[in-house]
């Protein structure tokens, strides 16, 4: 048996982790001095409510002891364990997990850098769970995941420059001028797992149009899930999903997903995006 483990940056709801039989380790989120744990005492709705209060959040990787205990438990039971982490280019979680694995000294415990986050990590977990349920070993699951990693397409349109400014990623001048001009940054996750800004749009409508053009350029595979994403405000995610439906893609309501704190802390509310595996 292969035990699948991930962290809460995958942005599934607690019941979805249960349905997929995946153990989720919570990331910590700090608002001021108060610490919260995703899916434990902080839901996505609560996160965006706190974000609206005006305090800038900070996120922290999970406590290593949580993964250590899970690996030790799997080792004692004679099971394989595979931890799939948020991108190592975004967080130090992957590197910490590798060090934790060495402490366990178990060949059947594995760590994989998803090179992704939020919906991208979710797509990977969907596939990993499918392979596990087919009876694949941990190494076979890793090989399967690696076969799709470079095909994952994740783009999003941000509604505000505020959180890039608060995070020190842009200057005050760029922030003020961009806000006046209603500039909406387009972000994407690269093949290396980093976040970059490949384009900017003048207004959310044009931002959504850009995302639709990306889907036309890199068509989604029908073998994997296609998700629309949003941060806090569902209406933009629904509007984007409607555009994809008009293009002939089936995106049911349950595949319109809310982005949690790991990425939401950096992009802010009212963003929308999409993620899928390209043909």
Query: Mind spelling out the 3-state secondary structure of 179-196?
Result: HHCCEEEEEEECCCCCEE
Mean pLDDT score, 8-18: 96
Mean pLDDT score, 6-18: 96
Q: How far apart are CA 95 and CA 165, in angstroms?
A: 27
One CATH from 3.40.228.10, 3.90.1580.10, 3.40.50.10170, 3.40.50.300 for 2-149: 3.40.50.10170
pTM above 0.85, yes or no: yes
- The alpha carbon torsion through 52, 53, 55, 58 (nearest 10 deg) reads -50
Q: How far is CA 187 from CA 115, 150, 160, 169, 207, in A?
A: 15, 17, 12, 13, 10
More confident residue, 70 or 179: 70
Q: How far apart are CA 219 and CA 48, in angstroms?
A: 32
Report residue 238's pLDDT band, with 50, 70 and 90 as the boundaries: very high
Nearest CA among 40, 3, 101, 88 for reference residue 260 = 40
Mean pLDDT score, 216-243: 97
DSSP letters spanning 91-138: -SHHHHHHHHHHHHT-TTEEEEE-S--HHHHHHHHHHHHHHHHTT--H
One CATH from 3.30.365.10, 3.20.20.70, 3.30.470.20, 3.30.1180.10 for 152-277: 3.30.1180.10
Q: CB–CB of 133/146 below 8 Å?
A: no
Helix (H, G, I), strand (E, B) or coil at 151: coil
Mean pLDDT score, 214-235: 96
CATH 3.30.1180.10 domain span(s) along the chain: 152-277
Q: How far apart are CA 124 and CA 86, in angstroms?
A: 11
Greatest Cα pair distance, the chain, in angstroms, is: 60
Give me the pLDDT at residue 195, please. 85
CATH 3.40.50.10170 domain span(s) along the chain: 2-149
Residue 175 has pLDDT above 70, yes or no: no
Give me the pLDDT at residue 181, please. 61
> Which of 59-68, 100-109, 179-188 bottoms out in mean pLDDT, i.e. has the lowest?
179-188
Q: Which residue has the tokens 């893609």?
A: 249
Give me the pLDDT at residue 153, please. 98
Give me the pLDDT at residue 56, please. 86
Percent of the chain with pLDDT over 70: 95
């Amino acid at each position: 048996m292969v035990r699948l483990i991930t962290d809460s940056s995958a942005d599934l709801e607690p019941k979805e982790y249960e349905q997929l039989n995946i153990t989720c380790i919570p990331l910590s989120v700090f608002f001021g001095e108060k610490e919260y744990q995703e899916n434990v005492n902080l839901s996505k709705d609560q996160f965006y409510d706190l974000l609206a209060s005006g305090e800038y959040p900070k996120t922290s990787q999970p406590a290593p002891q949580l993964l250590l205990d899970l690996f030790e438990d799997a080792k004692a039971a004679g099971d394989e364990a595979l931890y799939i982490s948020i991108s190592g280019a975004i967080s130090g979680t992957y590197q910490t997990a590798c060090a934790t694995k060495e402490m366990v000294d178990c060949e059947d415990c594995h760590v994989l850098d998803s090179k992704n986050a939020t919906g991208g990590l979710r797509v990977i977990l969907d596939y990993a769970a499918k392979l596990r349920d087919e009876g694949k070993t941990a190494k076979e699951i890793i090989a399967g995941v690696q076969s799709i990693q470079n095909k994952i397409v994740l783009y999003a349109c941000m509604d505000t420059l505020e959180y890039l400014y608060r995070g020190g990623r842009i200057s005050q001048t760029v922030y003020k001028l961009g806000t006046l001009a209603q500039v909406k940054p387009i972000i994407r996750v690269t093949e290396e797992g980093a976040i970059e800004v490949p384009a900017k749009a003048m207004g959310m409508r044009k931002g959504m149009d850009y995302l639709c053009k990306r889907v036309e350029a890199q068509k989604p595979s029908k073998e994997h899930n296609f998700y629309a994403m949003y941060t806090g405000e569902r209406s933009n995610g629904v509007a984007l999903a409607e555009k994809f439906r008009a293009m002939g893609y089936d995106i049911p309501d349950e595949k319109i997903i809310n982005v949690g704190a790991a990425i939401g802390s950096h992009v802010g509310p009212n963003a929308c995006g999409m993620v899928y595996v390209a043909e």
